[in-house]
Amino acid sequence: MGPRRSWCTAGGRCSARQGIFIPEFLTKIGILNTPFWYTAGEQQYFTDTTTLFIIELILIGWAEGRRWADIIKPGSVNTDPIFPNNKLTGTDVGYPGGLWFDPLGWGSGSPEKIKELRTKEIKNGRLAMLAVMGAWFQAEYTGTGPIDNLFAHLADPGHATIFQAFSPK
């Protein structure tokens, strides 16, 4: 598997769709009270945005650096940097395995089954990235998120459509 496929796999796994859809849905039904994801950067946090950016840069940079090292030299990051006795063996690049990454054991079995599941993961990841792009377009053009648009459409299917969103007012 080449670097492009490995990056695409990780992009599909880390797609922001869960961070968009789940909090918005839970807010809509009254379980949570979260800000709209599109304007979440405008919220006041425990520190200023520059400090948050530097913290994210360090933490995500470390994780991405380890992932890149594994792509360049497969197996080079199989040893836990904090607990050296924890080692992963026989893993492919982008598929770490183990209890935390494969709790249902889907990564074991026949090579044909594994190849099929990995192909499905790539396809679903690409679809998820398109879903995030769709959520962004909805937020940009309608001012509301995908869950609000879904509820509006279910309440009035004849008028709350994509065609109404783009029609002149």
CA separation for the pair 38, 21 (Å, rounded): 12
| 138 annotated binding-site participant | yes
Helix axes 111-142, 146-155, angle to 10 degrees: 80
pLDDT given at position 66: 80
Read off the pLDDT of each residue in 15-39 and give the average, rounded to a whole number.
Answer: 83
| 120 annotated binding-site participant | yes
| 164 annotated binding-site participant | no
Check residues 80 and 96 and name the one with the higher pLDDT: 80
Check residues 57 and 99 and name the one with the higher pLDDT: 57
| 121 annotated binding-site participant | yes
Mean pLDDT of the chain: 79
Q: In the predicted model, is pLDDT for residue 145 greater than 90?
A: no
Read off the pLDDT of each residue in 120-144 and give the average, rounded to a whole number.
Answer: 85
| 24 annotated binding-site participant | no
Q: In the predicted model, is pLDDT for residue 111 greater than 90?
A: no
**Structure confidence at residue 122 as a pLDDT band (50, 70, 90):** confident
**Buried residues in 111-147 as b, exposed as e (16+ CB within 10 A):** eeeeeeebeebeeebeebbebbeebbebbeebebbbb
| 43 annotated binding-site participant | yes
Q: In the predicted model, is pLDDT for residue 97 greater than 70?
A: no
CB 147 within 8 A of CB 24: yes
Question: Residue 135 corresponds to which tokens in the numbers above?
Answer: 């959520």
| 124 annotated binding-site participant | yes
Read off the pLDDT of each residue in 101-120 and give the average, rounded to a whole number.
Answer: 78
**Structure confidence at residue 54 as a pLDDT band (50, 70, 90):** very high
CB 6 within 8 A of CB 14: no
Partnered with residue 87 across adjacent β-strands are 79
The answer to which of 9-13, 15-19, 24-28, 138-142 has the lowest mean pLDDT is: 9-13
Please, what are the domains in the chain? 3-166 (1.10.3460.10)
Q: In the predicted model, is pLDDT for residue 53 greater than 90?
A: yes
Percentage of the chain exceeding pLDDT 70: 80
Read off the pLDDT of each residue in 48-60 and give the average, rounded to a whole number.
Answer: 92
